[in-house]
Structure 1
Amino acid sequence: MTVQIIRGLVDVRAEAGTSEVRALVDEVNKAFDTFKAEHTKQIDSLKKGHDDALQALKVDRINADIDRLQKEIEDAHVKIAASQNASVGGRKVRDAEYTDAFNAHFKKGEIQAALNKGASDEGGYLAPSEWDRTIADKLVLVSPMRQICFVQPTSKANFKKLFNLKGATSGWVGETAARPATSNPTFAELEYTTGEIYANPAATQQILDDAEIDIETWLAGEVQQEFAFQEGAAFVSGNGTNKPTGILTYVTGGTNAAKHPYGAIAAVNSGSATAITADGIIDLIYDLPSVYTGNARFTMNRKTQGFVRKLKDGQGNYLWQPSYVAGQPATLCNFPITEIPDMPDVAANALPIMFGDFNKGYMILDRIGVRVLRDPYTNKPYVSFYTTKRVGGGLLDPQPLRALKVAAGA
């Protein structure tokens, strides 16, 4: 780890960040107004039999500019929130004893009894709870799935959940008629396992001896970036081997479609073999039972969001709308959109969009505790801080979720 990288870890002040977000929201709205006008011109030209390549290029450039502005808004919000969680500016940490001891251990490698929050014979030193929470807080900020799904902490390697398969029966009887026994409900069990995710940042011993930096913020920043990248892909499409089982694998036709006692996540066709249609989006929304629409949202990647931005309803209104309030996401048919980079692109038979209540549908399993092992020997003159966390994930309930499949027909 170089001095330049460490010095690059600077604080973002909340007030300046908020003003920046407001300005970006205004820019997005102006850009979308321009996009609608130019896209309408493009459609009118096509209706007249003219394929204006320059007009199409202009629309695509505006669309890309909206994507860029949306990304800047999201990044600004992450920085603002991260600055509120960061251990800078003299903020009093929640576990000062552990943090002070851990800082001393980081710099000198001394054994501190206060660091041992578990069995010392496991070969390393467990991170103090302040560090654990800091890393967890940052993961929520940068991992979209953690923001919208149910997160279950556990102290065990595996987690089991019982599902009621119903089956209880009843009947109508007269006043004096016999009451025969009725059927009882049945249950099924599903086990969720965890895999280990790791990061291994490093710094020279001289930097650790001399630097006037916030070690906790540095480590947390390094770890959250690596963890968020690995988790994001696994929560979407992980195969369940030493990692979470991805949500897309539970969709009808997926490798885990038959795994859940309640069945697979239903797929709704997009209405085109190679694209997404406005009717397909409407069908997706109305295929979900109304009981789950109160907290429903769309998930897709940025490229797919650029595609659906061009869709209109029967009255010529755009289905996608930008956020008009700082801190609120863009919407599709008035439902919020969460951008998940690991969702597939639009292609034949792909599943580029999911819709529903993810908090009720998908569970992220956190094996409690972040472990940090200081290693000054393997890569001299660098000191490595091998950080691990055990994470799992799996389908909680397929009923609150729907997937859009790029395919023709209803």
Structure 2
Amino acid sequence: MPTSVELRQERARVVESLRAITEAAEAENRNLTAQERESYERHEREFGDLTERITRVEAEERRALEMGQPLDRGTGGGGTGGGGGGGDDRAGERRAAFAQFLRRGRTALAPEQRALVENSDGEILVPEELEAEIIRSLPALTIFRAICSVRTIGSNRVRRRSLGEVSVGWGKLETNAQTLTDSMPGTPTEEYTYVEDLYGLAKIGEDELDDSDVNLEAHVRDSFARALGETEDTAFAIGTGHAAHQPVGMMTTAGGVATVTAAGATAVTVDDFIKLIYAVPAQYRRNGRFVMASATELQIALLREDGATGAYLWQPSVQAGRPNTFKGYAIDNQEDLAAVATAARVAVFGDFNAGYRIYDRLGMAVKVLDQLYAEDGMVGWKVRKRVGGDVIRPDALRILVMA
């Protein structure tokens, strides 16, 4: 029997399939074909079925957690035997032990401590199942995890080797119509993307710790996700790189993304954004979208096709969960990007999934600070997450910079 985490992952894949069907039709400005409509309806039924199963399985997991017992999932065929549930049993044991650790610290763990893993710094690692749920919460709070590629790694850095593009030509070698030459001269450059340490602090009142483990776990997910999400999203946008112990922000010069200069210094025009769109190669432009601050979006929302009398080019979202658009491309807001001002980098356009990559290193760790805030009637949780980010294909993105 699958866990609620696995069911949610399966439901997320169904949602992606639904989105792909609608986006294909919208890109061609048409209704769904009969085949697409049949596929869409089938995926909708799958979404409903999975939602019902998730609700049922989560209820079972909550009951098991409240009783401090691992959930016995049987052998996968619907039975209640313990032959195939060892992995799920250990997962439930880890989560129950972790809840006790958050409540009372290391001293109260006793036999439950065997279910927890400690790192070299003496910190307790967040159980993998709970860590996966926290990471899945981040895209709902931020934008870049939802639009960029994400990779899980197990090292402190990732090596990237840069090569020149391959040259090709027509003609037969045997008739000397083509000469095969080394199209990639020189030695490839070697570069690294580093995984940085991100710390967060969540505090909770001692009285609230008397609530059930279920409420405590929900509080952990919410607090950790918020403590981490906004900070890492800022770094993916404007982080200054490894020297400052931050990811490389796509809007910084270190990211290597080419720029398009606006005509003016204090106001944007329709022409500025058309130039920005067409500065991105066609293969990346077809999956393009904008990222800018809300103040910049407000300026383009007032732009018209023909001065003060033409139609507005900015279009508000007509469906919940879908972004506003400009010239047919989606707009996401990231408030750490600069507002329109002289020489400011105010917007970025392109295929973010191809252009920027986020690196997660598994092993989110927690230290319980049960003495530091005791006078205030609080218990603190210091959380450490290891994450990096870097531009992997500068050609997939372009930045609009004011004159």
- TM-score, with normalisation over the residues of structure 2? 0.70
In the superposition, relative to structure 1, how do residues 212 and 307 fare at CA in structure 2: closer, same or farther (>3 Å)?
Answer: same
- Distance in 2, Cα, partners of 1:206 & 1:325: 42
Counterpart of 1:92 in structure 2: which amino acid? E
Partner of 1:217: 218
Counterpart of 1:331 in structure 2: which amino acid? T
- Distance in 2, Cα, partners of 1:223 & 1:301: 25
- Distance in 2, Cα, partners of 1:180 & 1:220: 61
Partner of 1:99: 95
* 3-state SS of 1:313 partner: coil
After TM superposition, give the deviation of residue 169 of structure 1 in Å: 6.1
Partner of 1:230: 231
After TM superposition, give the deviation of residue 176 of structure 1 in Å: 5.5
- Distance in 1, Cα, partners of 2:194 & 2:380: 28
Which aligned pairs between 1:259-270 and structure 2 lie closer than 5 A?
264-270=256-262
Conserved 8 A contact 1:85-1:137: no
Which aligned pairs between 1:19-30 and structure 2 lie closer than 5 A?
none
- Distance in 2, Cα, partners of 1:231 & 1:174: 53
Conserved 8 A contact 2:169-2:178: no
* 3-state SS of 1:90 partner: helix
Partner of 1:51: none
Greater displacement, 178-187 / 375-384: 178-187
* 3-state SS of 1:200 partner: strand
Which aligned pairs between 1:254-403 and structure 2 lie closer than 5 A?
254=253, 256=254, 264-314=256-306, 316-380=310-374, 381-403=377-399
Aligned length: 312
* 5+ residue gaps, structure 2: 1-52, 63-87
In the superposition, relative to structure 1, how do residues 181 and 379 fare at CA in structure 2: closer, same or farther (>3 Å)?
Answer: same
After TM superposition, give the deviation of residue 116 of structure 1 in Å: 3.0
* 3-state SS of 2:195 partner: strand
Percent sequence identity is 29
Partner of 1:243: 246
- Distance in 2, Cα, partners of 1:88 & 1:155: 31
* 3-state SS of 1:352 partner: strand
Deviations 1:239-281 (A, max 9, x none): 11211111111xxxx3x26xxxxxx322112222221001111
Counterpart of 1:104 in structure 2: which amino acid? Q
> Which of 59, 79, 86 lines up with 1:90 in the alignment?
59
* 3-state SS of 1:342 partner: coil
- Distance in 2, Cα, partners of 1:228 & 1:139: 5
In the superposition, relative to structure 1, how do residues 327 and 181 fare at CA in structure 2: closer, same or farther (>3 Å)?
Answer: closer
- Distance in 1, Cα, partners of 2:169 & 2:211: 76
Counterpart of 1:328 in structure 2: which amino acid? R
- Distance in 2, Cα, partners of 1:87 & 1:125: 30
Counterpart of 1:123 in structure 2: which amino acid? G
Conserved 8 A contact 1:265-1:398: yes
In the superposition, relative to structure 1, how do residues 176 and 279 fare at CA in structure 2: closer, same or farther (>3 Å)?
Answer: closer
Conserved 8 A contact 1:165-1:188: no
Partner of 2:209: 208
- Distance in 1, Cα, partners of 2:397 & 2:311: 26
Counterpart of 2:258 in structure 1: which amino acid? A
Partner of 1:127: 126
Conserved 8 A contact 1:167-1:183: no
Which aligned pairs between 1:119-158 and structure 2 lie closer than 5 A?
119=119, 121-158=120-157
In the superposition, relative to structure 1, how do residues 174 and 225 fare at CA in structure 2: closer, same or farther (>3 Å)?
Answer: closer
- Distance in 1, Cα, partners of 2:56 & 2:341: 44
**Greater RCO, CA 8 A, separation 6+:** 1
In the superposition, relative to structure 1, how do residues 399 and 99 fare at CA in structure 2: closer, same or farther (>3 Å)?
Answer: same
After TM superposition, give the deviation of residue 87 of structure 1 in Å: 12
After TM superposition, give the deviation of residue 172 of structure 1 in Å: 4.7
Counterpart of 2:351 in structure 1: which amino acid? D
- TM-score, with normalisation over the residues of structure 1? 0.69
Deviations 1:268-327 (A, max 9, x none): 122222210011111111121111122110111111111110111248121100111222
After TM superposition, give the deviation of residue 383 of structure 1 in Å: 2.1
* 5+ residue gaps, structure 1: 1-83, 258-263
After TM superposition, give the deviation of residue 199 of structure 1 in Å: 1.5
